[in-house]
Structure 1
C-alpha cells in the first residue's frame, strides 16, 4: 500500500495560526481521528473563519459523510457541524456564507464565535464514519515558535482492507502495538500468504501483506501421473516455502512454492513450431505466462481450432496443447483407389505428385499418379486389375486337383501308386502372375534325401529304387545307430540315424598339481600344472579328439630332485631321499667333530640349502707335567697317548697312561707324584688314618692325631698332622699335661 501525504488541518486568524499534520496512512473508510489543538496566542483573538485542508484521503470517494465536532474548553460553547463532503478543500465560515454548510440545529449568528481566554484552550475534531469505532490516536506536541504549534499524530499499524472473497479481523481493533490482523477466506477459497500479522513497536506489521483468497487448489496425484507432471514443493501458505517464494496454485499440482518473479522461466522455443506465430503475455516468460499460438499468414490450422493457449507451469514446462498449420494451397486426404495404396502424409504441397501402388494380385491398368493443384487433387484415372496365372500342366504318372488361375488360387498335385512326388504338392497363383513353384514330377526314383543333424552324405540328382545312401557324422560327432537310408518305390525308407556329440572321459587332477578346464566335448582342452617343487611329466595340454580319446595320457607331477649332495672328508650322509622337500643329515667319523649345519634341504630350485659341513679331528686339552714327575708325549689329537712317571722318592698316584678320546676328553685325570714323611715324635701316642702305610715312612695324605699316656691329658686336642709331598704339615704341637 502506498503511503498517503500528510493530512493537514490548518486554522487561520488575523494574527496567528495553529497547524496540525496527520502523518497517518489512510485507505478505505477512515477511523476516528482525535486530537487537541493547543494554541499559545500573544493575546486573545476571535476566530471568524476556520479552514480545514484534508490531504491523503484519495481513497475516500466523493460524497463520503464525515462527522466533525468542534468544542472549546468551555462546555457551553460546543458547536456541531455535519454533512461535509470529502473534497480536498472546504471552508467553514460564517453561518450562511457558504452553500455547503448545514447545521443540525439552529444557531444564532456565526458558526463558531469564541475567544481563547487562556493559553491552554483545546479543540477536538472527530472524524467518525458510521460503521467504524474511534481509532484513539496518540498525540505528540512540538512547539516551533509562538503562535505556531505542530501536532504529529502517531497512529497504530497500517489499515488493510479485507482480501477479495475473504475477511480480516483486528484484535484489538485500534491496531496498536501488539495487535494482530487475522485473515480468513470464504467457503470454497483458500488463503495464500501470511494468515496472521502482528503490529510491532515500530508501528509496522511484522511481515508484508501478501494475502489473497484463491479458489481451492488441491494436488491431483492421478492427473499428475497421467500428465507426467513434475511438481514443485507443496505448500499451504508462503511460510511453507524457502527463499521467499510465494505459495501459488499450479494446476493439477495444487498449491506449490513457485519462483513467480523469475524471468525466462519457461523455454519459448518449446512452443514455437513451424508455420505458427507465438504471442507471450507477459513477455518476460514468468510463471503463468500465457503463450497464444496461431497460424502464420498463408497457413491454415488442421482441425478447425485457429489458435491455442499454453501456460508456463511451475516446473518450467508448458501446459499441453498443439496446433498444426499447413500452407493454405496444400492438399490433404487424397482419394482412395480400389485395390491400391499410397504413402500417407499430413499434407501434400502444391504441385506435389502422389503415386499409387496396386495391391498384391493386382496390376496397374492406367495412370498411377495424382497431383496437388492449388489445394485440390487432379482427376483420378487410376485402375488396378486382378492378375491371372497361366494354367499349370498335368504331371506324368500323377493327378492335378484344381483349375483356378486367379490371384491366390491353389492347385494340388499327387502321384500314382509306386511313384513319388518330387517338388511342391501345392502351387499358388502369386501377385505377379506366376505360380509359387514349378510343376512337380512323379517318379519311382528318390530325390532330396532327408537331412540328418550333424551328418552329411553324397549328393546326387536322384537315387535309384533300392539304392542305399550312407551318412557320415560331422567332425566332433559319432554315429549312434544305423548309418544309411534306402530308396523304396520313390520314397526314402524311414531309418533312425543319430550323430551324437563326442564325449571323452573326465580327467583327474594330478597329485601335487592342478587342472584348468573340465570340458569333455570335442576339441575341449584341459591344461595341467604342478605345485611348486614338482615337475610335470607328460603333456601339459590334452585335447578331446573325434574318436573320444584324449590326445595323450594324463600327466603326473613328480618331486624335483636336487641330486646327491656330495661326500665330505672324514664323514658322510645318512641314507635319505634327494627330492623336494626332503632333507639329508651329515655325520662325522669317530674322532672327528661336525663344523656347520647338520642337515640340508632340497629346495624348489633343485638346490640344496646352505653349504656342506666339514669334519675336523677331535682335540683334547693339553696336559701338564705333575710336580716331582715327568710326562712323555705331547700330542692332543684323537688316540694320542701321554705317559707319566715320578722322580725318585715319589710314587705315582693315578693312571700312568692317558689317551685322547673321541669326545675330546682324556681317558683319566693327570696323576700325582707323592713323597713319604719321617716317623713323627715318639713321646706321644699317634693315631694314623687309613692313608698311612706304616709307622716308619708315611706317604702323602697320611694324617695323624695324638693321645696322651695314662695320667696325662692333651692340652691341644685338635692337633692334626698331615703328610704332604714328604713334609708333615702341622697345625700345632702335641702337649700332654697332668
Structure 2
C-alpha cells in the first residue's frame, strides 16, 4: 500500500517521487513530476518485477498503475548472467564455513557478497567476514578464526591439573597428590562453551581394618581410618611368623602385603646312625631349635656337629654322618 501526497504548485498538479526497493530506477534528484511524466523500473540482479514496469503521473496527482515491487527470484529459476559466480570454493584449513543463508544457493551475480562464520569452538580474530563475486571470480576471504580460550579448569584440592593446553580441543587431566585417590572423571575437555563436566575430588587413601591373624598380636593399631603410610606389626603368641612382619597402607588404599601367619613349624627327629644328640629336651623340634650331635665311640663325624631347625622344616646346615673309625696297624 502506498500513500501519495498531492503536491500543488503554481505550475499545476504534480506527482511525488517514488522509490522501489531492490530496483535500479533512479529519480535523478527530482522531487516532483508533472502530469504525463513516466517512470520505468528495472530490478536489481536476483530480483524480478511484480507489477507494471512503467507508471505514469495522471491528472489526479497519482501514479498509474501503482508502483511495482522487486521480489527475489526463486533459486531454481535464476538464470546465470554474464559475470556471475558459482558456489564459493571452500577455504581449506581456515576453520570457517559459509553462512547458512547462502548454503543452498548455486549462482551469485557479480557484485553480490556472501558471508562466513567461524566453526564451532573458534572465534573471529580479524579480517572481513565477506567475500565478493567480481565478474565471475570470488575475492579472497580475509577472515581469520582462532581457537576459543577456556583458561584455567579450576583447582583440585590435594592434586593438580595437567594440561595439553587451554584452548578449544585441549584437555585437563587431574592428578592426585601421593596418598590421595581420584573420585570422579579425571579428564575435562575444552569445549565451545568452556570446560566439560565438573572438577574431580582427591580423597585420602584409606585402607580397611588390618586383618586379624590367629595366635598373633598386632601392634601399631590406631583409631580409624588407616590412611596412607599407616604401619602395623604382627608378632606370634605361638608358632612361627610366616610372611611379612610389618605391613603398611599404600597410596592405592590397600595393604602392602597379605597378613602373615603364625604356624607351628617342626623338624623331623635328627636320626643320625651311630650318633646321639644333646641340647633339646622337647618332643618337638620347633623353628630355631638347636641340637649338638656327637658320634658314638669308634666313629668319626663328617659334617657339622651343630644344626638348627629352619623355618621350612629342614635341619641346617645339614645333618652330619658318623663313619667307623679306621685303625692302622702301626706294627706292620
TM range (shorter): 0.3 to 0.5
Provide TM-score, normalisation by structure 2: 0.44
Higher RCO structure, 1 or 2 (CA under 8 Å, sep 6+):
2
Name the structure with the higher strand share: 2
